[in-house]
């Protein structure tokens, strides 16, 4: 334990199973903290619907690949772990791609382009390498679900910001992704708005991500300062 | 001098401060700006005032947020950024184009990088490109010249309506720039010499009686201001000269080879923002290289890019793109073309004279 | 991060097994074999997946193509399967062009041509249906990479612009009218985007000219054209 500006620095000890899930949502967020998977996060998020679809598909891949790789962790030798893991991930992604194409074709027409890209998503390989090789199956599945949902909310947020600024709508065409029951999600936030084209184009993605990163840091700092003021301690994650 | 005091070189000060620099550039811009405001009337005056005011206001807000003293506002750099941005906008653009551009230029183009002296890209050009990409419609509707006081010119109220209410200019009040017109006509299988003969007049174009951005039309007045800055040594000659030559030489050469497809050097010189860019924008000391060779490379690169994009690119005008592209390269240019330190050769080895002196000293000791 | 070991303590009887596994894992043969085995298993899974989904995917894609074709070719016009009878036409100017013939009672009533032109952001692929007189039955953009929000009004889902071509032909409007207004033609460009509609108009004009060049060949003897 040490001191920092009068506050006691406490390293959080131990971990409950559900914390594997909750930590990945915010404190270890794949996109905002680990800075992984930025390629899909930037390329796909021209609308909130696209972000949601990509996020959900990635979550599914993360859960399945985490479970498989974690259950094989004793058998995998470190020297060949990368080709092995990439092979498994690519297989899972391709199977999901084929299954969606065959049986949920409506959804596939919206997401089809992005599914194959998940193979190259660093977050999937990153979680396999950093987590699944060292943890049993259940925490790996929880971590996969948490990372995936953490990734999803970031994608939906970036997509939402870009969509509102770029075309004045929110969750346009959500019903083709989620079904007709979700038509109420499709909002026209700014009617008659021509849109700032820059937000839809690639630079808009970088600018939105930059402001999101800065915003998260500001929130984190405020939270820590409030805790120092009330409890006189600064909790640090292991 | 005790060893723990820092050594201080015998530097001479030429009384140049950021404040003086910026003020002189603004003064040099004044003739061309006044002419532009006269030429495009009340909507242009509104736009210019709004853009400059928004730049100053965003600078003040950013300084406040960063906890820096507000007196930095007085150094004139924000005013110059807003001014340059206004001069590069279509003169009858709606108010939010100018204000949004200023907020982008100061907030994202300058203060996010760390404020004055830290920005990688020229803030005014960054904002101009962002606006062009974000609002292609508004950024490519050009008003034809309507000098103040002439018949059929929007009066003060009309000007407010155009700037703030987005009233569409009447038919015959807008048109294409010379560069845009050439680009369109060339796709209709007409020859360049034919198009220029019917649509392009050199003298009005040099004087500035042509469509275009607010402050870029008058080649001669811009040249006047630029020469004054050159005479004061506020702007170094390398970048403008290299940039202009890199546009004019390929243009002249291409015209010699095929006059039916390529317009000549004078056309390129007198149209678009080439002179504004070469004299006032590319020469920004923050975003251009330091050494003489570096500045020559920088200017040459800007000019060549302008010519390439104007001739074969998708956009009719390219000064902003070219300057931004070379801005990105200028740290690299600075790395490769380091100026020679005093008493050393370009590789950093002491000069012969210095080593001779050392030897002489050793001889003395003996 | 997450570095603490959370594996359960290993019971003693499995410890020997674990250490043997650890020794094996460092051998090259084990590594190669495990890699090969995993690849084989993944390949097997993919083969199985392909086997179970192949027919469904093929019929979905067929439906997709048919749905696009229906948009340009009214279903009441023909009774054959244009997709199955698709062939490639050799043309001196455009190279190979994919043609979907629509027949009624064995007689050709219309063709759908797949034509690509270069737009602002990349190739624009269009499907253009023409009847025997060379009149346009319908046009749809199959794929494009144009700027979203600005030039994507060429999609039927975004704007009805693309439907305005129906009923036109090579002589109506005359050749000079087959251009966007900015170039002196009769079709509007979009605000802020000229290159995209220009490319679309050019593609349609090319298809019309191609049809005129090969009209006899297309309408005459269908057997003569090699599939």
CA angle A24, A28, A34 (to 5 degrees): 125
Contact B192, B124 (CB under 8 A): no
pLDDT score for C223:
44
Q: Does A28 sit within 8 Å of C42, measured CB to CB?
A: no
The DSSP symbol for A123 reads: H
pLDDT in tens, chain A (238 residues): 445 555 677 777 767 778 888 888 888 888 888 888 888 788 888 888 888 888 988 999 999 999 999 999 888 888 888 999 999 999 999 998 888 888 878 778 777 777 887 887 888 998 898 889 988 999 999 999 999 999 999 999 999 999 999 888 888 777 777 777 777 777 777 777 777 888 888 889 999 999 999 999 999 999 888 888 888 777 777 6
In whole angstroms, give the CA distance from residue C88 to residue C90. Answer: 7
Among A43-47, A216-220, B58-62, B226-230, the minimum mean pLDDT is found in A43-47
Tell me: cis bond preceding C173? Omega within 30 of 0 counts: yes
**Which pair of structure tokens corresponds to residue A189?**
């936030």
In whole angstroms, give the CA distance from residue B39 to residue B221. Answer: 13
Contact C102, C126 (CB under 8 A): no
- Closest chain B residue to the Cα of C183, Cα to Cα: B188
- All residues of chain A having their beta carbon less than 8 Å from the beta carbon of residue C3 are 134, 238
- Closest chain B residue to the Cα of C121, Cα to Cα: B314
pLDDT at B353 over 80: no
**Which pair of structure tokens corresponds to residue C117?**
């032109």
Of residues C66 and B32, the one with the higher pLDDT is B32
pLDDT score for B53:
95
Q: Does C57 sit within 8 Å of A15, measured CB to CB?
A: no
- Taking the domains of chain C in order of start, what are their residue ranges? 12-62, 78-226
Q: Tell me phi and psi for residue C31, to 5 degrees.
A: -60, -45
Model confidence at B25, in pLDDT bands (50, 70, 90)?
Answer: very high
- Of B307, B302, B293, the C-alpha closest to B340 is B293
Model confidence at C3, in pLDDT bands (50, 70, 90)?
Answer: very low
In whole angstroms, give the CA distance from residue B105 to residue B110. Answer: 6
Kindly report the length of chain B. Answer: 366
Instruction: List the alpha helices (DSSP H) in A5-80.
Output: 17-25, 38-43, 48-71
Contact B321, B315 (CB under 8 A): yes
Please list, in sequence order, all residues whose beta carbon lies within 8 angstroms of the beta carbon of residue C24, skipping any fewer than 6 positions away.
C30
- Closest chain C residue to the Cα of B140, Cα to Cα: C192
- Closest chain A residue to the Cα of C27, Cα to Cα: A77
> ipTM of the predicted structure?
0.76
Q: Average per-residue pLDDT in chain B?
A: 84
CA angle B282, B285, B291 (to 5 degrees): 95
B136 touches chain C (CB under 8 A): yes
Chain-centroid distance of CA C194 in Å reads 24
Partners of C140 in beta bridges: C127
Residues C119-132 have pLDDT tens digits of 877 889 898 998 88
Q: What mean pLDDT do residues B250-264 have?
A: 88
Please list, in sequence order, all residues whose beta carbon lies within 8 angstroms of the beta carbon of residue A4, skipping any fewer than 6 positions away.
A234
Kindly report the length of chain A. Answer: 238
Q: What mean pLDDT do residues B175-184 have?
A: 75
pTM to 2 decimal places: 0.78
Residues C137-184 have pLDDT tens digits of 889 888 888 876 677 788 887 788 888 888 888 888 888 888 888 777
Q: Which of A166, A168, A193, A196 to mutate to test the interface with B (most CBs of B within 10 A)?
A: A196
**Which pair of structure tokens corresponds to residue C96?**
């190979």
Q: Does A74 sit within 8 Å of C21, measured CB to CB?
A: yes
In whole angstroms, give the CA distance from residue B57 to residue B329. Answer: 31
In whole angstroms, give the CA distance from residue B211 to residue B272. Answer: 9
Q: Tell me phi and psi for residue A125, to 5 degrees.
A: -65, -40
Distance in Å, alpha carbon of B289 to nearest chain C alpha carbon: 33
pLDDT score for C226:
45
In whole angstroms, give the CA distance from residue C93 to residue C76. Answer: 33
pLDDT at B290 over 60: yes
- Of B34, B46, B32, B42, the C-alpha closest to B153 is B42
Q: Tell me phi and psi for residue C141, to 5 degrees.
A: -90, 120
In whole angstroms, give the CA distance from residue A37 to residue A114. Answer: 13
Cα distances from A198 to residues A166, A195, B218, B267, B313, in angstroms, run 7, 9, 31, 32, 20
Q: What mean pLDDT do residues B211-234 have?
A: 89
Contact A174, A65 (CB under 8 A): no
pLDDT at B177 over 70: yes
Distance in Å, alpha carbon of C127 to nearest chain B alpha carbon: 25
pLDDT score for B364:
60
pLDDT at B186 over 70: yes
Q: Does B133 sit within 8 Å of A198, measured CB to CB?
A: yes
Among B40-54, B209-223, C213-227, the minimum mean pLDDT is found in C213-227
pLDDT score for A37:
84
Query: What totals of helices (H) and strands (E) does chain B contain, helices first?
Result: 16, 2
Of the ranges A105-109, A197-201, B49-53, B310-314, the best mean pLDDT one: B49-53
Tell me the HSE value of B262 on the side-chain side, using a 13 A CA sphere. 19
In whole angstroms, give the CA distance from residue C192 to residue B141. Answer: 9
Model confidence at B174, in pLDDT bands (50, 70, 90)?
Answer: low
Q: Which of C19, C42, C155 to mutate to test the interface with A (most CBs of A within 10 A)?
A: C42
What 3-state DSSP class applies to B175? strand
In whole angstroms, give the CA distance from residue B308 to residue B305. Answer: 5
- Please identify which residue in the block is written with the tokens 């020297």: A79
State the chains in contact with A (3 or more Cβ–Cβ pairs under 8 Å).
B, C
Distance in Å, alpha carbon of A231 to nearest chain B alpha carbon: 28
- Of B93, B101, B98, the C-alpha closest to B166 is B93
- Of B310, B331, B311, the C-alpha closest to B321 is B310
């Amino acid at each position: 334990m040490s001191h920092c500006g009068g506050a006691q620095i406490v390293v959080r000890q131990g971990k409950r199973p559900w914390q594997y899930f909750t930590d990945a949502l915010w404190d270890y967020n794949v996109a905002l903290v680990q800075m992984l998977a930025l390629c899909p996060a930037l390329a796909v998020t021209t609308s909130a619907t696209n972000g949601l679809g990509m996020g959900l598909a990635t979550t599914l891949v993360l859960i399945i690949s985490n479970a498989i790789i974690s259950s094989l962790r004793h058998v995998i030798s470190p020297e060949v772990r990368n080709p092995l893991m990439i092979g498994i991930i690519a297989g899972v992604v391709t199977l999901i791609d084929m299954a969606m194409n065959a049986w949920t074709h409506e959804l596939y027409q919206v997401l089809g382009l992005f599914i194959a890209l998940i193979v190259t998503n660093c977050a999937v390989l990153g979680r396999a390498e950093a987590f699944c090789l060292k943890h049993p199956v259940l925490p790996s599945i929880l971590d996969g679900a948490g990372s995936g949902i953490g990734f999803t909310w970031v994608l939906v947020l970036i997509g939402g910001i870009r969509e509102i600024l770029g075309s004045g709508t929110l969750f346009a065409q959500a019903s083709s992704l989620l079904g007709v029951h979700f038509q109420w999600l499709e909002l026209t936030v700014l009617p008659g708005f021509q849109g700032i084209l820059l937000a839809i184009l690639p630079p808009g993605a970088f600018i939105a991500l930059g402001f999101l990163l800065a915003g998260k840091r500001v929130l984190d700092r405020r939270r820590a300062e409030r805790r120092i003021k009330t409890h006189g301690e600064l909790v640090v994650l292991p | 001098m005790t060893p723990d005091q820092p050594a201080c070189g015998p530097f001479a000060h030429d009384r140049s401060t950021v404040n003086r620099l910026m003020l002189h550039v603004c003064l040099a811009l004044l003739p061309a700006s006044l002419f532009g405001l006269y030429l495009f009337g009340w909507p242009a005056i509104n736009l210019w005032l709004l853009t400059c005011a928004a730049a100053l206001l965003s600078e003040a807000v950013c300084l406040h947020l960063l906890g820096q003293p507000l007196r930095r506002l007085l150094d004139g750099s924000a005013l110059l950024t807003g001014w340059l941005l206004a001069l590069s906008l279509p003169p009858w653009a709606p108010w939010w184009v100018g204000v949004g551009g200023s907020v982008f230029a100061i907030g994202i183009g300058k203060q996010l990088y760390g404020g004055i002296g830290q920005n990688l890209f020229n803030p005014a050009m960054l904002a101009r490109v962002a606006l062009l990409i974000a609002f292609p419609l508004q950024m490519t509707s050009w008003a034809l010249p309507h000098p103040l006081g002439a018949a059929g010119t929007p009066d003060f109220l009309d000007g407010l309506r155009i700037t703030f209410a987005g009233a569409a200019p009447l038919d015959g009040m807008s048109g294409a720039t010379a560069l845009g017109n050439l680009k369109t006509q060339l796709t209709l299988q007409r020859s360049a010499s034919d198009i220029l003969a019917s649509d392009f007049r050199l003298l009005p174009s040099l004087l500035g009686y042509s469509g275009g951005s607010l402050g870029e039309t008058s080649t001669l007045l811009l040249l006047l201001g630029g020469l004054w800055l050159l005479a004061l040594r506020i702007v170094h000659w390398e970048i403008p000269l290299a940039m202009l030559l890199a546009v004019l030489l390929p243009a002249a050469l291409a015209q010699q080879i095929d006059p039916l497809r390529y317009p000549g050097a004078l056309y390129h010189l007198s149209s678009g923002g080439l002179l504004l860019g070469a004299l006032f924008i590319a020469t920004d000391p923050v975003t251009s290289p330091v050494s003489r060779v570096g500045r020559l490379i920088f200017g040459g690169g800007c000019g060549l890019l302008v010519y390439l994009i104007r001739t074969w690119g998708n956009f009719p005008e390219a000064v902003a793109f070219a300057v931004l592209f070379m801005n990105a390269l200028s740290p690299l240019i600075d790395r490769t073309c380091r100026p020679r330190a005093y008493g050393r050769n370009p590789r950093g080895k002491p000069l012969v004279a210095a080593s001779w002196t050392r030897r002489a000293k050793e001889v003395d000791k003996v | 991060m997450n570095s603490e070991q959370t594996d359960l303590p290993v019971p003693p009887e499995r410890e020997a097994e674990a250490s043997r596994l650890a020794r094996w894992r460092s051998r090259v043969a084990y590594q190669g074999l495990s890699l090969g085995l995993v690849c084989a298993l993944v390949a097997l899974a993919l083969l199985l997946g392909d086997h179970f989904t192949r027919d469904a995917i093929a019929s979905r894609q067929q439906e997709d193509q048919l749905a696009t074709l229906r948009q340009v070719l009214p279903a009441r016009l023909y009774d054959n399967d244009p997709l199955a009878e698709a062939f490639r036409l050799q043309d001196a100017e455009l190279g190979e062009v994919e043609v979907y013939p629509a027949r009624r009672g064995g007689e050709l009533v219309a063709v759908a041509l797949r034509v690509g032109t270069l737009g602002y952001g990349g190739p624009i692929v269009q499907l253009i249906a023409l009847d025997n007189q060379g009149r346009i039955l319908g046009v749809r953009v199959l794929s494009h990479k144009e700027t979203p929000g600005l030039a994507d009004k060429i999609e039927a889902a975004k704007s009805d612009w693309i439907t305005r071509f129906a009923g036109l032909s090579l002589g109506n409007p005359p050749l000079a009218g087959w251009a966007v207004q900015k170039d002196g033609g009769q079709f509007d460009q979009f605000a802020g985007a000229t290159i995209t509609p220009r490319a679309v108009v050019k593609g349609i004009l090319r298809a019309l000219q191609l049809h005129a060049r090969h009209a006899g060949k297309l309408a005459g003897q269908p057997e003569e054209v090699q599939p």
